[in-house]
């Protein structure tokens, strides 16, 4: 009768291939990563006021920072969509002109898996503004 000699190198190679195949299969069926808005900022520009730098009839730049450089970003003022922009790299920008005085919550949303959205926001107070061309005078 012959002796069976186990080839340990072949067994290790098969185990390694099996492990790599399992990892590849799990990666292929995993849900894709969702697009996420990470931060929002508001630039007051050249606006001046005693209580706030934000005034009606004046235009401001809203910066939306995201982790997906291709999915469009929605910009909201108190829950109402006012702009949609495609990001350049990790930044999407929109212009905002508040129409009313009072509290405003500026939010951004980059659509991802339903129910898993992150909605960063910034709260600002708006008073009456007079557009002065290159800047804004804010009263109130």
Q: Model's pTM, two decimal places?
A: 0.72
Return the pLDDT at 111: 73
Return the pLDDT at 18: 46
Return the pLDDT at 22: 45
Return the pLDDT at 62: 98
Q: Which residues of 10-21 are buried (b: 16+ CB within 10 A; e: fewer)?
A: eeeeeeeeeeee
Secondary structure string (H, E, C) spanning 46-74: CEEECCCCCECCCCEEEEEEECCCCCCEE
As its CATH architecture, domain 37-139 has Sandwich (2.60)
DSSP-based three-state secondary structure for 30: coil
Return the pLDDT at 17: 46
Return the pLDDT at 84: 97
Return the pLDDT at 115: 63
* Domain assignments of the chain as residue spans, ordered by start: 37-139
pLDDT averaged per 10 residues, the chain (length 140): 51 49 40 72 90 94 94 95 95 97 96 71 96 91
């Amino acid at each position: 009768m012959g002796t069976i000699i186990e080839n340990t190198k072949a067994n290790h190679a098969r185990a390694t291939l099996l492990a790599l195949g399992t990892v590849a299969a799990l990666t292929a069926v995993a849900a894709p990563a969702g697009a996420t808005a990470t931060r929002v900022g508001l630039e007051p520009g050249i606006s001046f006021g005693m209580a706030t730098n934000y005034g009606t009839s004046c235009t401001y730049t809203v910066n939306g920072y995201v982790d997906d450089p291709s999915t469009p970003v929605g910009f909201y003022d108190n829950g109402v969509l006012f702009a949609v922009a495609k990001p350049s790299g990790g930044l999407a920008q929109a212009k905002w002109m508040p129409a009313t005085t009072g509290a405003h919550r500026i939010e951004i949303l980059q659509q991802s898996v339903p129910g898993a959205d992150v909605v960063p926001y910034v709260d600002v107070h708006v008073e009456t503004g007079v557009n002065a061309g290159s800047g804004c005078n804010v009263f109130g």
